[in-house]
A and B are shown apart, each in its own frame.
Chain A
Amino acid sequence: MLIFTLKRLLSLALSLIAASVAIFFVVEIIPGDPARLMLGINATQDAVDALRTQMGLDQGVMARYWLWISGLVQGDFGISYTYRVPVAEMVQGRVWVSLPLAMYALLLSTLIAFPIGILAAAKRGSWADWLVMGGTQLGVAIPNFWFAMIMVSILAIKYQLFSAGGFPGWDDPLAAMKALTLPAFVLALPQASILARVMRSSLLDTLSEDFMRTARAKGRTARGAMVHHALRNAMIPVLTIIGLQFSFLLAGAIIIEKIFFLPGLGSMIFTAITQRDLIVVESVVMLLVFAVILVTFLVDITYALVDPRLRRRA
């Protein structure tokens, strides 16, 4: 288990280094001078040059990469070109929108997917199965930005039950949760549909295994066999999907954050790119890559804990 973990850690470190190089140099080739963008078209060239010096943009690319990466290792994300405040400070505010939103969505997704996935598998071929399969097909197919706008039109504009968007901050936790509810639901729906379908097919695979017949033969009820034998064995693919979905929800909520004007990481990256706030783009994308790689690493470790065969093979 120790060797397995070490190997995984090494691959995690290598991925991070490769990612940092890719991110930095891809961002560097975006055309556009951050200093000129800030000062606008009437500014004199010497004012722009003065700002470039202030931002450290007059140094070479390699020097800036080294500064950035050595700072990152020490937990220093750099200073935003545009806002002139530490990136870490900016990220902190945003993480407390994006992370709870991702977790809320994942929770909703699991709460919806598990019961209906199990129901569809247990009653395979019944009307319930048909309903679940049809419904989830629709759930995957509906674009979530469109669904978001429909929800806003009905719940926020027509009935005024919710705000059309925005985030009041965590001072009032109830208001904050309420502000996140619609976006989380919209994000959760396609994820739940995918998860329910994976749950169903994984369960069906397990249900046809010999050990299930054995379990029933030794006197387990259908429900008991399902809970104690089938569900546990069907969990690996489901865990994989949940891991992937979490990464996706954390980094991929840009459009939903735009529609609900939530101050999350996605909208922050979006604005930073248009403002050529390169250091923010680099650091935040790096942070997200780190989060995704970390989740993958944790899922890998969990597999090995669940299934001893995996660590011997690795």
Chain B
Amino acid sequence: MKRILTGASVLALLASGAIAASTSLTLGDQLEPPHLDPTAGAAGAIDTVVYINIYEGLTEFAADGSVIPALAKSWDISEDGLTYTFHLQSGVKFHDGSDMTASDVVWSLNRARAEDSVNAQKTLFENIADVTATDDTTVVVTLSTPTGNFLFNMAWGDAVVLNEGDDVEALKTAPNGTGAFTFTNWVQGDSITMSRNEAYWGEAAKLESVTIKYISDPTAAFNAVMAGDVDAFPTFPAPENLPQFEADPRFTVIVGSTEGETILSTNNKMPPFDNPLVREALAHAIDRNAIIDGAMFGYGTPIGTHFAPHNPAYMDLTAQSNYDPELARTLLAEAGFPDGFTTTMKLPPPSYARRGGEIIAAQLREVGIETEVTNLEWGQWLEEVFKGKDFGLTIVSHTEPMDIGVYANPEYYFQYDSAAFQALMDDLNGATDPAKRTEILQAAQQMISDDYVNGYLFQLAKTGVANANIRGLWENAPTQGSNLAEAYWVD
């Protein structure tokens, strides 16, 4: 016993309090990126690290989701909406010291739209007909058809500018961008560190270094915040712990919005969901507030269509699919299912899906719809639900910004095939006038709501926790990445 006691006191001596320097910041995140090339993978975790911080594009998202100039300081759009002339910032250098010029932009855009490109968002570039550098700081992009949201497209992490001729395989573990932070180190499985870019063309970062530590387990994440191992956890995985942080003066809880429309995806081609009355019944059988309270501990904004509530063009259509189980039963009877029916519900791993699924299954049972619930892993979900379209219902959060356009693809996994909607999206692409765009976007929101394509549940909230002395962390998540150059400590 004595030996054990001596051991314990040695351990206590080994322990020394870590003192957080006010010029460095340690963030926690749940998912480690597979690699660090945002132009060759969809993993949001890539953008979390590199977007804006390491790599920049022609345009970028601001904290409120609006599109602002980045590497392009200004641009001119031709009358017909087909020619975009970008005027680049001058004096921009990549982290390896080489100059960022128009030819780097041309190379990056051509690479993204090439035949063998593995860009996860290739559709962002599909309307580009030609990219030319007219001089070192001017790039002319010619489009095949007017693309109203082209500037928005160029703000995505998938459209960042790379250094022409860099070995793209090497970039996966050693990114070379133009951003306010340079990549320093990656201890795989543990953390990624970046340091302030002293030669940055814009306003320099306030912090000297930022480390992102990967902690996948929610309990471990809670422990790490409580023990002070991480200074902030911008997207905290366990909302049930947030009240505890709120009550603790050492921390602040940051609640914002994301681009994630969480929906009860419905297989529009699978009977009985091919009957609009059944989908309408489904919509009225769901109590959104019970799901937000039960699955998300109250964090989330109810939505009635596939659109982010913080967007100025958003329409609140929740009343159209209000919770009314009586109406749902009537509609089901009208559709020929007075005794209800049985269907499948396949759930991916996130807790909004697993917890939400249980609540929805109970709510559907109330109106006579029985669900066979299966829990799937992401890989299985992609195979069975997304690719195989073998599902009745599923719950998933669509986290891409402004992704209402997916409803125009009849092959998309929920298989909504509406010529009217497809025509509307063609109109949208042709429109560059903001007022006109808003009008079309609202018509689109109304249409999918009228057709009850999917069950619209809630906009996923971004809930994070941070040391009370940190300022400048982004509240909202207009994209998975956030600009860390604005973060700083106060005493």
Contacts and interface: CB of A to CB of B under 8 A. Distances in A.
Contacts of A26: none
Contact of A163 (B119, B191, B229): B229
B298 interface: no
A263 B187 contact: yes
Contacts of A260: 220
A178 B382 contact: no
B433 interface: no
A41 to B, nearest CB: 6
Contacts of A44: 122-123
B188 A93 contact: yes
B226 A263 contact: no
Interface stretch (B208-216, B319-327, B422-430): B208-216
A11 interface: no
A43 interface: yes
Given A39-B41, A162-B15, A32 B406 contact: no
Interface in A26-80: 30-34, 36-44, 46-47, 50-51, 54
Interface in A141-180: 149, 152-153, 156-157, 160-167, 169, 174, 177-178
A200 interface: no
Given A30-B379, A38-B43, 17 more contacts: A32-B382, A33-B379, A36-B383, A54-B118, A83-B173, A157-B226, A160-B17, A166-B191, A166-B215, A166-B229, A167-B187, A178-B14, A258-B216, A261-B215, A263-B190, A271-B189, A274-B378
A165 B26 CA distance: 14
Q: Which of A42, A85, A160, A262 has the most CB of B within 10 A?
A: A42
Contacts of A43: 42, 119-122
Contact of B118 (A39, A83, A177): A39
Contacts of A163: 18, 224, 227, 229
B223 A165 contact: yes
B217 interface: yes
A167 B188 CA distance: 11
Interface of A: 30-34, 36-44, 46-47, 50-51, 54, 82-85, 90, 93-94, 111-112, 115, 149, 152-153, 156-157, 160-167, 169, 174, 177-178, 181, 258-264, 267-268, 271, 274-276
Contact of A156 (B3, B34, B223): B223
Given A38-B42, A50-B117, A83 B216 contact: no
A267 B217 CA distance: 11
B189 A165 contact: no
Contacts of B116: 50
Nearest to A181: B11
A261 B222 CA distance: 12
B35 interface: yes
A93 B189 contact: yes
Contacts of A31: 379-380, 383-384
A190 to B, nearest CB: 16
B378 A161 contact: no
Nearest to A48: B118
A187 B176 CA distance: 41
User: Closest 10 interchain pairs by CB?
Assistant: A32-B379, A40-B42, A263-B189, A164-B223, A161-B15, A164-B227, A82-B34, A39-B120, A263-B190, A156-B227
Contact of A259 (B3, B17, B41, B219): B219
26 contacts: A30-B379, A32-B379, A32-B380, A32-B382, A36-B386, A40-B42, A41-B382, A41-B386, A41-B413, A47-B117, A47-B119, A50-B115, A50-B118, A83-B172, A94-B189, A115-B3, A160-B15, A160-B228, A161-B11, A162-B227, A163-B18, A166-B190, A178-B11, A181-B14, A274-B379, A275-B34
Contact of B217 (A162, A177, A259): A259
Contacts of B403: 42
A33 B42 CA distance: 14
B231 interface: no
A165 B387 contact: no
Interface in B159-198: 169, 172-173, 187-191
Nearest to B15: A161
Contacts of B398: 41
Contacts of A40: 41-43, 120
Contacts of B121: 42-43
Nearest to A81: B34
A152 B120 contact: no
Given A33-B383, A165-B220, A177 B14 contact: yes
B12 interface: yes
A93 B189 CA distance: 9
A51 B117 CA distance: 8
B32 interface: yes
Contact of B190 (A156, A167, A181): A167
B435 interface: no
Contact of B377 (A54, A156, A169, A274): A274
A79 to B, nearest CB: 10
Interface string B418-454: 0000000000000000000000000000000000000
Contacts of A94: 188-189
A190 B451 CA distance: 59
Nearest to A178: B14
Contacts of B224: 163-166, 261
Contacts of B120: 38-40, 42-43, 47
Interface in B21-41: 32, 34-35, 41
A203 B120 CA distance: 64
B400 interface: yes
B172 A84 contact: yes
B197 to A, nearest CB: 24
Q: Which of A152, A165, A271 has the most CB of B within 10 A?
A: A165
